[in-house]
Amino acid sequence: MIIHTPADLGAAIRAGRRALGLGQADLAARVGVRRQWILKIEAGKSTAEVGLVLRTLNALGLKLEVDEARHKRSVRPPAGLSYDIDAALERTRPKRALGPIGRGFKSAAEPGKSERLAHSRATKKHKR
């Protein structure tokens, strides 16, 4: 059963309880809550404590499973359309910060200003 709403969850709990032949009071005793709480959760109470809900499901032998969304975006273009693979790759590359105006991107091979300054100081010190 796919659960979309608190009412769906309540219906699953009710069905599980009935399948085991338990009354609301019996289930309440197993979970450690009052019968009134079972009544409310089966009616779709939206503010139920998650821990108690999980304990209730466990008492009924029901399993809660979280699944990935089934509607994933397709990265494939519709048939007949061209696809620019370079543009797609460029969108996945991390953005790099611009250097000083007019300098463009700093490549990994090109030392930055602080590296050049440190190298310059070390060279001057060595020449003395």
* CB 49, CB 59: distance < 8 Å: no
Q: What is the pLDDT of residue 67?
A: 77
Domains of the chain: 6-59 (1.10.260.40), 97-127 (no CATH)
Lowest mean pLDDT among 5-14, 36-45, 61-70, 116-125: 116-125
Q: Say whether pTM exceeds 0.85.
A: no
How many Å apart are CA 12 and CA 52, to the nearest integer?
A: 15
* CB 35, CB 42: distance < 8 Å: no
Q: How does pLDDT run across 57-112, given as a tens digit for each residue?
A: 999 999 888 877 666 555 565 566 666 667 766 777 766 655 555 555 454 555 55
For 80, the enclosing helix (H) or strand (E) is none
Q: How does pLDDT run across 6-22, given as a tens digit for each residue?
A: 999 999 999 999 999 99
Q: What is the pLDDT of residue 28?
A: 95
- pLDDT for residue 113 is more than 90: no
How many Å apart are CA 58 and CA 50, to the nearest integer?
A: 12
How many Å apart are CA 38 and CA 117, to the nearest integer?
A: 72
